[in-house]
Structure 1
Amino acid sequence: MIGNKFSMSPLVVAAVLWFASAAVAAENTEAVPKEIESIGVDEHLDTQIPLELPFVDSNGENVRLGDFFDGKMPVILTLNYSDCPMLCSLQLNGLFEGLQGVDWDLGNQYRMVTVSIDPAEKPERAEATKRKYLEIYGRQGVDQGWHCLTGEDANIRQLAATVGFGYAYLPETKEYAHAAVTMVCTPDGRLSRYLYGVQYPPQTVRLALLEASEGKIGNTMDQVLLFCFQYDEKAGRYGPAAMKIMQAGGVLTLIFLTGLLGIYWLREASKARRKRTDEALSVPQA
């Protein structure tokens, strides 16, 4: 007696595997909490942030967000929280390491504002965080350069929505899920640049501040440097702008040639004057 045999062709095997993987993928997709879907960053460049929003600073004083935008200095803006188990610490460590490499001083050429996304955070906790990172920064007289703010949930969410910062509270872990992003704002409170990750090269930070300042900080060479560099969103840093460098090179070449021609014409004019003087002196007197 010949037993029944069941064999599957390669095509059938492939189909079974495909449906199995699709089922697993669907199961995994359904397993993702809805809160997680909102996490991310949607860049709102040149958007005016709500300067009228009320918060409380780390000294317990009532303030408005606009109190830290004076129309003169660019402002670094971050959304973090002090009890974050890892990401906020990595981000702020990297940011202050980058700021250490910038020769401008916090509070003199630029300001920084950090708003806690945890409405339960108290000013005392925010102050402790501020002291910790200012010690890492290691410069004197910068206490008024960084402002750590706490506030009500509605105001925090309004600010986050305006800047495109998506985050979510996870009740299971009692933590906030969020991205690591640092925003650089113009002196009047418009979003100028988003910098991502937990490492911030000093040149990237400096150029972002220079760009946001709209010429209000930096010297002539800084402006020339900014002209020749542009932000590469894929690389997450500023890189040489070939066309602008060519334009700048053309201008410098023109200036150089104009200078050479000017020197040549001055010398020729001087020679002509000496020749006329010599000829006049050589004429016999009557």
Structure 2
Amino acid sequence: MRLTLESIRWVELDEEIRCLLGKPYQMLPLSPGLEADVVKVECADHSCVLKIWNKDSKPNIQNQYELLSKLYESRVQVSKPYGWGMDVDQNQVLLTSYDGEPIAKLSKTKLEHLARLLIQVHGYEVNGTENVGSDLIPQYDFLQYFFPSIDIHEDIHQILTSLLQQIEYRQDKLIHGDYNLGNVLEADHQYTVIDWTNGQLGDPRYDMAWSIFLMTIYVGERNGKVYSALFKSLTEYTPDDAEIFEAMACLRWILLKRVANVPMGPGVMQRIKKIIGNNSYLHDELL
């Protein structure tokens, strides 16, 4: 059966969108993610995005819908959630606003927008609200969540344990968990953070380090250095913190490379080796 908006069993659906059900619309495939297929829904005067979790990953989409609703109400720059439900194959679906395309060409100004956007996420008020520790903003075991199968990779586990003994890993702020260029959309000089599957209580220093690391290895050292300097100037992210959390980010990438597929590209391994060579907590034998 062909997927249609009418065939979805909606648990929640915005009235504005419900009124469109019966009017002509087109469904246009967008680039799929690792966890879900993505479709753009185009009406005469409205566009939105339907995400269908029809692969192995089965996150709690009700929680994601409710978190997006809270963030949107708080003026954090996220997609407006319109509804969630199940398709005919019992796959979870999420319907949100259409907010543009991934950033095509970076500049220092855009890098600053990206840094400030993540800092805005970290500034979302979680303390003293009903959201803390709830399913809405879950709290996970850091190692088990971000380092799958770590127990059977003793070399990585040993370094991580040592790093965690040197810093106090905090879980008191909202973090995105996978803030990269693929998860920020741009339209008319407005930026929107998408894909909140990994949203949780965590340490902003780790969230920044992972984002800087991905920027460096996939977009280039120059952009990575500018991006890193922005976080250090706009937050209390110190050089000492940066080296420790950069090591954690690199270890995570190495682990993911061992247990699954990670995106590769020209120069990626050379940049990884350079990061390892410049970081006193890492060594070449990890690769």
Normalised to the residue count of structure 1, the TM-score between the two structures is 0.26
Question: Higher relative contact order by CA 8 Å / sep ≥ 6: 1 or 2?
Answer: 1
Normalised to the residue count of structure 2, the TM-score between the two structures is 0.25
